[in-house]
Amino acid sequence: MVRKLPLKQIRNIGIMAHIDAGKTTTTERILFYSGRIHRMGEIDNGTTQMDYLVLEREHGITITSASTQVRWKNCHINIIDTPGHVDFTIEVERSIRVLDGAIAIFCGVGGVEPQSETVWHQADYYHVPRIAFVNKMDRIGADFNAVIQMMKNRLHTRPLPIQIPIGAESNFQGVVDLIREKAIIWNDSIDPLGSIFEYIPIPEEMRGEVKEFRERMLETLAEVDDDFAVLYLEGKPVSEDQLVEAIRRATLKIQVTPTLCGSALKNKGIQPLLDAIVDFLPSPPDVPPIEGTNPETEEKEIRYPDDSAPFSALAFKILIDSQNRKMTFFRVYSGSAKAGQVVYNPSIESSEKLQKIAFMHADSQTIVDEVYTGDIVSAYGLRNTKTGDTLCDIDHPIILEPIQFPEPVISIAVEPVSKIDEEKLNIALQRIMEEDPSFLVKSDPETNQTLLYGMGELHLNIICERLRDDFKININVGKPMVAYRETITLSIGQEEKFEMKLGGNTYFANVSLHIEPQEAGRGFTFVNKLKGREIPDEYIPYVEKGVIDSMSCGVLVGFPLVDIKVHLIGGSAKVEQSSGEVFQACASRAFTNGARKCNPVLLEPIMSLEVVTPEEFLGDIIGGLNQRRAKVLEIRHRQNLQIIRATVPLSQMFGYSTDLRSNSQGRASFTMQFSHYSQVPPEVQASIIQ
Ligand code: GDP
Ligand code: MG
């Protein structure tokens, strides 16, 4: 097998931004100019290619990250479109995991908004080199320099403007390319779709500004790149190639963020953005090789991006297609594989067959016979592989670091209307869960209800809409409820003896546990402290299982218990009377009885909140937040807006959008995301428990 395109000519990139900054519009333009599509869609009338689910078209937002690829210059660019709403951060997180570089899109008016900050920091965490595109330069109030300033202040990055805008607002015409010292103009009367553009000399009145910006660009590069500093200090003219190479080096080391501008909607600035992807963003060999653990030796291992290395890939997304077939998206980190080949999934210790491999383009696909290092593709036939699993060569097993999933913090109850609906519901929920690892389904044995757990109200609303519209299921939906948890605050020793005669048999088990709270976020730890064989070894896992069973239903209200450490400190068994199951039941009872005495408390999800409001509504909004048990952390102003940062219990935030609208004549807005779990104040706890 030989790859068609050198690895150096592959770019795996994502487009990230605050909702409404223009990701989908920009992606659409990229598809159009690269010849991938022949008709441009518009968000506003719901005809874009990337937002292919009906719901996404209706909501005008991107929910599932669809992937697509384009050819530009000599490069193959894989693009993953990522959603902007926090309820879907899992989508952003998993895309960032498999990408090598990203474009951050900012609105020329709004600049760096809270959500872009969140995503930016996610990208910092994964060391993803980025370029920035300041979009919407045609809008009233668009200000390129102000956005650059915000990038410095908010993102603590070093923006490197490689363009400056020509004209502003409705008179925005194009950009000056500071590298090549030329103006690029898109003339609407020649080609309203923007395919045709011309290079012209820099307009006379901009020469001073261009000189200043170019000088600053060279200085910044000299500061971060030693090789370039030598050239620069010699004072000789720097060639275009030298400049591009220096910017590329600095971008790959995440020392600078090359910054461009344009207007996706008005079809200006997209072709130079594509050039910048090719010139500055990394190819697979430009990023550090992927690390993983050998499941047999438990040693760290590295896989270099090389087609002749053993195959390794990460499954990062699962979709069920319209014909009910499971599609697994994966990124190949090393080696290659053929359609029909068997690959190994070390997490489930089983082999799976790559039945049909395809490059995806929104909802259509191109079938291929083989995949190589660096490719992002989907395959059919992987029955048991889950999101975050590794696929590899069975003779060279490796587990790449899995994707972290956030815990769902909110739930709603759904009830099928008829028996037929009930059957359809179970199948549909299984499907949605397979696709979306941040979504969980549990049944409440007491009420016989089905509970859906998710990341926020919007997340669950969209799932209910899918159940009704896509799956045609009649359901009744309850009010959203907070996913509380329980923990303990005291330590205790607890012994339990289990002795029972049943049908002529005697059953016996005896267990002593020491139960103690542990630090928030530590989850559950089980330690066997037995010195001898008071309890036979084969029963120990049953003791642990008994404790875990009890933890799923807490002792206060029945929410799951978390952050507890349990030591097995004593016990005894009797020959022919003891068994694993008896020990499991006994440990379960020991734990529940013990935990009741450990002063159990309720934990609630706390959200971090940011409200943006015109000055005059500040007082009312702060008053409203105080009533909701919010802690205001910071109030700062930006132009004539006030920005409030606070933490607030999720339980207090239902219906907040309506309140905020009426408190601000519809002019304030907010974003909210999960921060941590914290103890419910005693007076509030009393009202929840009663
Ligand atoms: P996304 O949420 O980031 O995917 O943003 P969209 O691409 O869906 O765009 C959000 C809104 O902004 C839509 O109404 C677009 O028409 C509009 N929009 C996108 N790009 C521009 C632009 O360059 N200028 C102006 N004026 N509006 C734009
Ligand atoms: Mg979008």
Pairwise CA distance, residues 656 & 650, whole Å? 10
- CA of 174 from ligand 1 middle (Å) equals 18
- CA of 21 from ligand 1 middle (Å) equals 6
Same fold? 290-400, 602-689: no
Q: Are the C-beta atoms of 130 and 102 separated by less than 8 Å? A: yes
Q: Which long-range contacts (CB under 8 A, 24 or more apart) does 442-451 make?
A: 442/411, 444/413, 447/413, 449/413, 449/414, 449/415, 449/478, 450/413, 450/414, 450/415, 450/416, 450/425, 451/411, 451/412, 451/413, 451/414
Atom of ligand 1 nearest to the CA of 19: 2
564-572 vs 524-528, strand pairing mode? parallel
Main-chain dihedrals φ then ψ at residue 635, nearest 5 degrees: -130, 125
**Cβ within 8 Å of residue 624, ≥6 positions away:** 659, 660, 663
Q: How buried is 40 (Cβ within 10 angstroms: 0-12 exposed, 13-18 middle, 19+ buried)?
A: middle
**Cβ within 8 Å of residue 662, ≥6 positions away:** none
Query: For a substitution probing ligand 1, which of 265, 267, 273 has the most ligand atoms within 8 Å of its CB?
Result: 265
- CA of 44 from ligand 2 middle (Å) equals 11
Pairwise CA distance, residues 246 & 242, whole Å? 6
Atom of ligand 1 nearest to the CA of 44: 14
What pTM value is reported for the model? 0.74
Q: Residues 612-664: pLDDT tens digits?
A: 888 999 999 999 999 999 999 999 887 678 889 999 999 999 888 888 888 88
Q: DSSP for 468-512, please give it.
A: HHTS---EEE---EE--EEE--S-EEEEEEEEEEETTEEEEEEEE
Q: How many helices (H) and strands (E) does the chain have?
A: 16, 38
What fold does the segment set 410-480 form as a domain? Alpha-Beta Plaits (3.30.70)
Q: Is 257 in the pocket of ligand 1 (CB under 6 A)?
A: no
Query: Can you name the residues that pair with 440 across neighbouring β-strands?
Result: 453
Query: Can you name the residues that pair with 487 across neighbouring β-strands?
Result: 601
Level-2 CATH architecture, domain 8-286: 3-Layer(aba) Sandwich (3.40)
Pairwise CA distance, residues 303 & 287, whole Å? 12
Q: Is 109 in the pocket of ligand 1 (CB under 6 A)?
A: no
Total count of residues recorded for the chain: 690
Can you list the alpha helix ranges (DSSP code H) found in 556-611?
Answer: 580-596
**What is the amino acid identity at position 32?**
F
> Which residue ranges in the chain fall short of pLDDT 50?
43, 51-65, 86
- CA of 556 from ligand 2 middle (Å) equals 43
Both structure tokens of 188: 């609407």
Protein residue with least CA distance to atom 17, ligand 1: 22
**Cβ within 8 Å of residue 218, ≥6 positions away:** 232, 238
Q: Is 62 in the pocket of ligand 1 (CB under 6 A)?
A: yes
- CA of 116 from ligand 2 middle (Å) equals 13
Q: Are the C-beta atoms of 664 and 621 separated by less than 8 Å? A: yes
Domain 486-599 indexed as CATH 3.30.230.10: yes
Both structure tokens of 431: 């499907």
Atom of ligand 1 nearest to the CA of 264: 23
Please tell me the CATH code under which domain 602-689 is placed.
3.30.70.240
Q: Name the CATH superfamily for 290-400.
A: Translation factors (2.40.30.10)
For helices 580-596 and 540-551, what crossing angle results, to 10°?
A: 40
Pairwise CA distance, residues 438 & 440, whole Å? 7
Q: Is 84 in the pocket of ligand 1 (CB under 6 A)?
A: yes
Pairwise CA distance, residues 602 & 554, whole Å? 10
pLDDT for the residue numbered 506: 92
Pairwise CA distance, residues 343 & 314, whole Å? 12
Closest Cα partner for 528 from 563, 580, 567?
567
Residues with CB under 5 A from ligand 2 (ion): 23-24, 62
Pairwise CA distance, residues 676 & 85, whole Å? 19
Q: Is 136 in the pocket of ligand 1 (CB under 6 A)?
A: yes
Instruction: Determine what percent of the chain falls in helix, strand and coil, rounding each to the nearest 5.
Output: 30, 35, 35
Boundaries of every domain in the chain: 8-286, 290-400, 410-480, 486-599, 602-689
Q: Are the C-beta atoms of 607 and 676 separated by less than 8 Å? A: no
pLDDT for the residue numbered 392: 97
Q: How buried is 479 (Cβ within 10 angstroms: 0-12 exposed, 13-18 middle, 19+ buried)?
A: exposed
